[in-house]
Amino acid sequence: MRPLVPLFALGLGLVAAVGCDKEKSGAEKLAEALAASNSAQKVVASASASQVDPAEQKYAERKKSLEQTALELKADESRIMAADANATPGMLRKYFADGADGDKLAKDLEAKCKKLHVDGIRITKTTVSETRLQGNLEDAEIEVLEEAAGKGSTNCFLYTQTWKWTGTKWVWKTLKAGKPSTCG
């Protein structure tokens, strides 16, 4: 009969503990309220952190589109330099502003690429080194590292290009002289 007494006492303790759960002290109630408040604050902070600042989003989109446009231009230059069947006359025109100045810049760049083809030079790799957008996000400079092979050697040049946002696309403005750089 002895083993039943401790079990009975233990059973009463559980019933008593369950009964105490309904009546919480002021400290327990305050602790629960603080925990709920902290949890709510974390949810609000998490929601705020997941919202993207529109200015940051605009910057990221413009930067990405500029880098993509600059790399597409270099790919099209490479096609002309390699006398690729897809290299059609005037294919560089889309990278320049409308008008006579844009026409001239596109024709001059295409002629330069054709001359490099005759000289046996080919672009083998192009990467964006650095992109700088001005405060209004409509003017930008981008540094492009170009690896070119020809005449038995491989050389790398770092070119700085300036671009202008037209409201729908980036257009090429100028190219600063390339400077020799290390490949890789």
Residue corresponding to tokens 């998490």:
46
Residue 67 counted as domain residue: yes
**Which value, to the nearest 10 degrees, does the dihedral of the CA atoms of residues 12, 18, 24, 27 take?**
80
Phi, psi of 122 (to 5 degrees): -135, 140
Q: Which of 59, 66, 93 is nearest to 164 (CA)?
A: 66
Residue 130 counted as domain residue: yes
Residue 26 counted as domain residue: no
Q: Give the whole-angstrom CA distance, residue 170 versus residue 164.
A: 6
Phi, psi of 102 (to 5 degrees): -65, -40
The segments of the chain whose pLDDT lies below 70 read 1-24, 26-27, 40, 43-49, 184
Residue 48 counted as domain residue: no
Q: Give the whole-angstrom CA distance, residue 150 versus residue 68.
A: 26
Residue 131 counted as domain residue: yes
Number of domains in the chain: 1
Its domain, for residue 58, covers 54-181
Residue 68 counted as domain residue: yes
Q: Give the whole-angstrom CA distance, residue 11 versus residue 183.
A: 79
User: What confidence tens digit (pLDDT) does each residue in 1-16 have?
Assistant: 445 444 444 444 444 4
User: What confidence tens digit (pLDDT) does each residue in 85-105 have?
Assistant: 888 999 999 999 999 999 999
pTM surpassing 0.85? no
CATH code where residue 65 lies = 3.10.450.50
Q: Which of 108, 111, 118 is nearest to 82 (CA)?
A: 118
Residue 49 counted as domain residue: no
Residue 140 counted as domain residue: yes
